[in-house]
Amino acid sequence: MNALPGVAGLDAIVVGAGPNGLAAAVTLARAGLRVRVYERANQAGGGASTRELTLPGFHHDVCSAVHPMAFESRFFREFGLADRVEFITPEVSFAQPLDGGRAAVAHRDLERTSVGLGADGPAYNRLMRPLAERSTEVADFTGSSLLRIPRNPLLAVAFGLRALEQGTPAWGIRFREDLAPALLTGVAAHTILAQPSIAGAGAGLALTAFAHARGWPIPIGGSQAISDAMVDDLRAHGGELVLEHEVTSLAELPPSTVTLLDVTPKAMIRLAGDAMPGRYRRTLEAFRYGDGVAKVDFALNAPVPWTNPDLHLAGTVHVGGTRAEMADAENQVQQGRHPEHPYVLVSQPSLFDEGRAPAGMHTLWTYTHVPAGSDLDRREAVIAQIERFAPGFRDTIVATSSRSAREVEEHNPNYPGGDIAAGAPDLWQLFRRPVLSPDPWRTPIPGVYLASASASPGPGVTGMPGWLAALSALRHEFGTRMLPDLAPIES
């Protein structure tokens, strides 16, 4: 590809317009820099985008759908996301159906949740209350490099002890029945890690704390609304967005003071070529990617006919049965197998946002975990698992869109092998993401920074890796430690 034409005075280039690339671009533009963003797709958003995947008029989220960090991420708080995008927050953050029509239900109200968990309710309350009451502090210390002293060390210790308990074989000590363990494991399994695992338990506890604090919000219009809000702010402050342009080498970019890459280490090696020092290259080559997802979207003619009516109130449903069943399914994936009865994440946003589908119709978002690079279509496995808890579900299906893990990567190269975490989020790689450093966003290539979910603090639609990379660039390349004001501008 020929070199792009130079632009006099261009200060910053961002490669990739996913949530992190856009967060970095917004931050740099708000600092008064001239910023240009390049994106290979025909719309911005990456993991936070919405498209008509099944039929015209049915708007499906391509990757993320429900956003536990929308109100808790430090970047989104600074950006004033809740004032820019309309959200609806379901009363039930998530739920876990069990056989016999039973379900564990995580209400935003912790007390109500605890009552519904029967004999284990008090134990669940003791586990979660200290974290839910300090959810923003939990978000702050889990939302940055772990190689720093947290502002509230006592809370960090309390969090760590709970993660050790729920992330090891000791996870059976606290509870006597099956509802509470299933509820917690359904969230921990988001991480696509072995169960139990300390990193999975930590992520699950943080997300559960957010569920009982401010809930798990759903953006009206889809996840695209979050990306569009950042694009609008970027353009309002002089930034540019170039769509349908795939950057294949750093050498083809026009001159700029800094370049921030919303890509994986694998892609960064390819982009940098000989400009990357050998030692750093070897470190990035050792970065490990995790297992993947197979995604299935449905157009429906009715809501999912859950046996338990409380599930109609939930923004997210974790389908997989008991803690033991989900652990078995997830551990089979870790062994390179496709479980017959998989763990499935489910959300029906059209229950809360009627604009997602034509009148009287619905959209359903699902994905399940598979070995990295799997090319199997998991549509039937997903349908069968939902049917287990919602007999008659198959009869509501009007159309489907199904992607294997390999097709997920083809759609978005930031998901190698279908790994939507852009790198295995195990405990070691949460510290070393992608390098063991208090400033892991800065690379040894002059002016180049890694601003993707492969960098600390890791996966999720938070904007944090991009924001922290941009702040690092402002410190090192422009000599300022001032935090740009990201708040919405009043009209």
Helix (H/G/I), strand (E/B), else coil: 22: helix
Helix (H/G/I), strand (E/B), else coil: 239: coil
Q: Nearest CA to 64 among 182, 218, 231? A: 218
What is the Cα 200 distance to its own chain's centre?
Answer: 14
Handedness of CA 193, 67, 135, 309 (dihedral sign): negative
Strand positions, DSSP E, 141-248: 218-219, 240-242
Contacts of 124 (CB under 8 A, 6+ apart): 113, 114, 117, 175, 180, 183
DSSP class of 447: T
Helix H or strand E encompassing 141: helix 135-142
Contact 486, 79 (CB under 8 A): yes
pTM (two decimals): 0.96
SS3 content of the chain, % helix, strand, coil (to 5): 40, 15, 45
Strand positions, DSSP E, 220-355: 240-242, 258-261, 292-300, 314-319, 344-347
DSSP class of 361: -
Contact 155, 130 (CB under 8 A): yes
Written as tens digits, the pLDDT of the chain (491 aa) is 333 334 457 999 999 999 999 999 999 999 999 999 999 999 999 999 999 999 999 999 999 999 999 999 999 999 999 999 999 999 999 999 999 999 999 999 999 999 999 999 999 999 999 999 999 999 999 998 877 778 899 999 999 999 999 999 999 999 999 999 999 999 999 999 999 999 999 999 999 999 999 999 999 999 999 999 999 999 999 999 999 999 999 999 999 999 999 999 999 999 999 999 999 999 999 999 999 999 999 999 999 999 999 999 999 999 999 999 999 999 999 999 999 999 999 999 999 999 999 999 999 999 999 999 999 999 999 999 999 999 999 999 999 999 999 999 999 999 999 999 999 999 999 999 999 999 999 999 999 999 999 999 999 999 999 999 999 999 999 999 999 999 998 75
Q: Residue 245, Cβ neighbours under 10 Å: how many?
A: 13
How far apart are the two ends of the chain, measured CA to CA in Å? 42
